[in-house]
Amino acid sequence: MYCIITHGDLDGLTAAAILLDVLEKKGYKTVILIAQPFTLNSALSKVDSFRSVSKLYIIDVGIDPAIWEKTKNILAKLRLRADILWIDHHRATLQKIEELAKLGISLIYSIDGSAASIMKYAYLEYTSDPDFFSKLALMGEVGDKVKEVKDDEMAKIVEIVGSSLSANSEDDDFKIKMIHLWVREKKIYNEEIEERAKKAKEKLYSLIKEAKTRVIFEGDRLVIIDFRGVPARGYIGKIASDYANKNNKITIIIFNSGPNEVVATCRVPQSLEFNALNKLLEIARKLGGSGGGHPRACSIRVPVSFTESLKNELLALDKT
């Protein structure tokens, strides 16, 4: 049996669909799991319970330095009975390339593209329908903002499918069902996806309005919004992007992730030069947290006891 662990965003899902099609075309039974960097260990432990796994693919899941030692131990155990291929574009993963190599784990990496970009170049010609999966790859690239789309129809498709994922961001079964829809029916979206997208769009508009009332700081080029206590999981990045682009300011939203952690998600407008990833990771390390992402779109998480310290560190960014 083969197993794919992939990130649950548009990039990760489309990349996984390309690989799944190739594997199923060859007759391999394949199980799909969804993970984020900080939930990777849980997914790996589940794979470890599948005694018949002979190959594991990890797609678009960046390494979380805060849990790396435990991750490494689980990977070492899995590597004794399964080949492991990591396909990624996050710098945190590249920084562990030597340790991955010592574990016998192969890495396919791209600095410029997304996971869907990598899969397109490596596997597209082996899929059952290259034209269809080329569209999926473009969706993933647009979703991860490594490509812009000028085709109105494709822009509409990306909006519908991407929004449907926000409706219930923790519904991994829906994400896996979406991958199977693409691979087995060659449909980009169906009525369920459209309905979820419609509900998500309505909720997003409502949350964008609420964000304006929750601004706790606005400087010359930085805005901080406090969304603690607001049920907005799956929408935070979209809200931050909307505010950043409309106001041409670096936008950071802080919110709770369970009872023990507070998260800061940042978006940087294209008109500003600011490496948010480096700045926020410095803060995370200082406060005993972790994080990841890209220079213009990233998140960090720290213990909830450091909430006020986190706010103060973020406020100081307006002067950098």
Tens-digit pLDDT profile for residues 10-24: 999 999 999 999 999
User: What pLDDT score was predicted for residue 128?
Assistant: 98
Domains 2-195 and 214-319 share a fold: no
Separation of alpha carbons 278 and 142, rounded Å: 23
Separation of alpha carbons 142 and 174, rounded Å: 21
Q: Which fold has domain 2-195?
A: Rossmann fold (3.40.50)
**Band of pLDDT at residue 183, cut at 50, 70 and 90:** very high
Q: Are the beta carbons of 107 and 309 closer than 8 angstroms? A: no
User: What pLDDT score was predicted for residue 25?
Assistant: 97
User: Quick one: three-class SS letters along the chain?
Assistant: CEEEEECCCHHHHHHHHHHHHHHHHCCCCEEEEECCHHHHHHHHHHHHHCCCCCEEEEECCCCCHHHHHHHHHHHHHHHCCCEEEEEECCHHHHCCHHHHHHCCCEEEECCCCCHHHHHHHHHHHHCCCHHHHHHHHHHHHHHCCCCCCCCHHHHHHHHHHHHHHHCCCCCHHHHHHHHHHHHHHCCCCCHHHHHHHHHHHHHHHHHHHHHHHCEEEECCCEEEEECCCCCCCCCHHHHHHHHHHHHCCEEEEEEEECCCEEEEEEECCCCCCCCHHHHHHHHHHHCCCEEEEECCEEEEEEEHHHHHHHHHHHHHHHHC
To the nearest whole percent, how much of the chain has pLDDT over 90? 85
For residue 256, CA distances in Å to 40, 42, 74, 231 come to: 20, 20, 28, 9
Q: Does the pLDDT at position 198 exceed 80?
A: yes
Spell out the domain ranges in the chain: 2-195, 214-319
Q: Which fold has domain 214-319?
A: Diaminopimelate Epimerase; Chain A, domain 1 (3.10.310)
Supply the mean pLDDT for the chain.
94
**Band of pLDDT at residue 293, cut at 50, 70 and 90:** confident
Q: Does the pLDDT at position 320 exceed 80?
A: no
Whose CA is closest to 314, among 235, 226, 243? 226
Lowest mean pLDDT among 49-58, 146-155, 226-235, 299-308: 146-155
User: What pLDDT score was predicted for residue 257?
Assistant: 87
Lowest mean pLDDT among 81-85, 108-112, 158-162: 108-112
